[in-house]
Amino acid sequence: MQFLYIVLFLLGSGFLQAQVTFQSKVSKKKLGINERLRVDFEMNQDGDDFNPPDFAGFRIVGGPHQAISNSWINGKRSYSKTYTYTLSPKAKGKFTIGQATINIEGETYKTTPIAVEVTSAVKKPKDGNNADYLASENVHLIAEVSKANPYLNEAITVTYKLYVSHEVSITSNWREVDTPKYADFWSQNIDSRGNYKIYDGTYKGEDYRYVVLRRTVLYPQKTGKLEIEPLSLDIPIDVKSKRRDIFGRRLMTRVNKTISAGKRTINVKPLPEEGRPINFTGAVGDFDFNLSANKTKLDANEALELSVKVSGDGNLKLFDLPKLKLPSSLEVYEPSRADNIRTQAKGMTGAMVENYTVVPQFKGNYPIRPISFSYFNPKTEAYETLTSNEILIEVENGPLTSESSENNTATSKQLVTLDKNQFKYIKLNADLESVERAYFFKSKAFWMLLGIPFLFIPLAIFVGRKRKQRLADVEGNRLRRANQLAKKYLSEAKKNMTNQSAFYESLERALHNYLKAKLNIETSEMSKAHISNALLERKVDMGVVGNFTDLLKSCEFARYTPSSNVTIQKDYETAVTTISSIDKQFQ
Give DSSP secondary structure letters for 117-167. Answer: EEESPPPPP--TT-HHHHHHHHEEEEEEES-SSPBTT--EEEEEEEEE-TT
Neighbouring-strand partners of residue 356: 306
Q: Which of 230, 228, 192 is nearest to 211 (CA)?
A: 192
Q: Report how far residue 472's alpha carbon sits from residue 345's, in angstroms, rounded to the nearest whole number.
A: 86
Q: Report how far residue 339's alpha carbon sits from residue 67's, in angstroms, rounded to the nearest whole number.
A: 59
pLDDT at 193: 65
Q: Which of 180, 174, 182 is nearest to 259 (CA)?
A: 174
What is the chain's percent helix, strand, coil content, to nearest 5? 25, 40, 35
Virtual torsion, Cα 54, 55, 60, 64, nearest 10 deg: -70
pLDDT at 524: 64
pLDDT at 373: 95
Q: Which of 69, 88, 66 is nearest to 78 (CA)?
A: 69
Q: Can you give the pLDDT of all 587 residues of the chain as single tens digits?
A: 666 656 565 555 444 445 888 899 998 899 888 788 889 999 888 888 889 998 888 988 877 888 887 777 776 777 888 899 988 888 889 999 999 999 888 888 999 999 999 988 776 655 556 777 788 888 999 999 999 999 999 999 999 999 999 888 887 778 887 788 888 999 998 876 667 888 999 998 888 999 998 899 999 999 999 998 888 888 888 887 777 776 667 777 888 888 888 888 999 999 999 999 999 999 999 999 999 999 999 888 899 999 999 999 999 999 999 988 888 888 898 999 989 999 988 899 999 999 999 998 888 888 999 999 999 999 999 999 999 999 999 988 877 765 554 444 444 445 555 555 555 556 667 677 777 777 777 788 888 888 888 888 888 888 888 787 777 766 566 556 655 666 666 777 778 777 878 888 887 888 777 777 777 666 666 677 778 887 888 778 888 888 888 888 888 777 666 767 777 888 888 888 888 887 777 76
Phi, psi of 486 (to 5 degrees): -65, -45
Q: Which of 430, 429, 395 is nearest to 414 (CA)?
A: 395
Q: 185-219 burial by CB neighbour count: b if 16+ within 10 A, else e? A: bbebeeeeeeeeeeeeeebeeeebbbbbbbbbbbb
- State the Cα angle at 124 between 121 and 129, rounded to 5°: 150
DSSP string, 8-40: HHHHHHHHHHH---EEEEES-SEEETTS-EEEE
pLDDT at 501: 80
Q: Report how far residue 284's alpha carbon sits from residue 316's, in angstroms, rounded to the nearest whole number.
A: 8
Q: Report how far residue 168's alpha carbon sits from residue 250's, in angstroms, rounded to the nearest whole number.
A: 12
Neighbouring-strand partners of residue 58: 89
Q: Show Cβ contacts of residue 516 under 8 Å, excluding neighbours closer than 6 positions.
A: 522, 523
- State the Cα angle at 436 between 433 and 438, rounded to 5°: 95
Q: Are strands 232-244 and 198-203 parallel, antiparallel or unpaired?
A: unpaired
The count of C-alpha atoms lying within 13 angstroms of the C-alpha of 377, restricted to the half-sphere facing its C-beta, is 13
Q: Quick one: which H or E segment has residue 80?
A: strand 76-89
The count of C-alpha atoms lying within 13 angstroms of the C-alpha of 220, restricted to the half-sphere facing its C-beta, is 25
Please give the model's pTM, rounded to 2 decimal places.
0.51
Q: Which of 236, 260, 254 is nearest to 174 (CA)?
A: 236
Q: From residue 141, how far is each of 137, 352, 530 by CA, in Å? A: 11, 37, 90
Contact 165, 138 (CB under 8 A): yes
Q: From residue 356, how far is each of 93, 224, 360 by CA, in Å? A: 62, 39, 13
Q: Which of 510, 512, 507, 515 is nearest to 554 (CA)?
A: 507
The count of C-alpha atoms lying within 13 angstroms of the C-alpha of 393, restricted to the half-sphere facing its C-beta, is 28
Q: Show Cβ contacts of residue 204 under 8 Å, excluding neighbours closer than 6 positions.
A: none
pLDDT at 355: 93
Q: Report how far residue 82's alpha carbon sits from residue 42's, in angstroms, rounded to the nearest whole number.
A: 4
Q: Which of 523, 544, 520 is nearest to 532 (CA)?
A: 544
Q: Report how far residue 201's alpha carbon sits from residue 211's, in angstroms, rounded to the nearest whole number.
A: 10
What are the E-state strand segments in 146-269? 156-164, 169-170, 175-178, 185-190, 198-203, 206-220, 224-228, 232-244, 250-260, 264-268
pLDDT at 407: 46
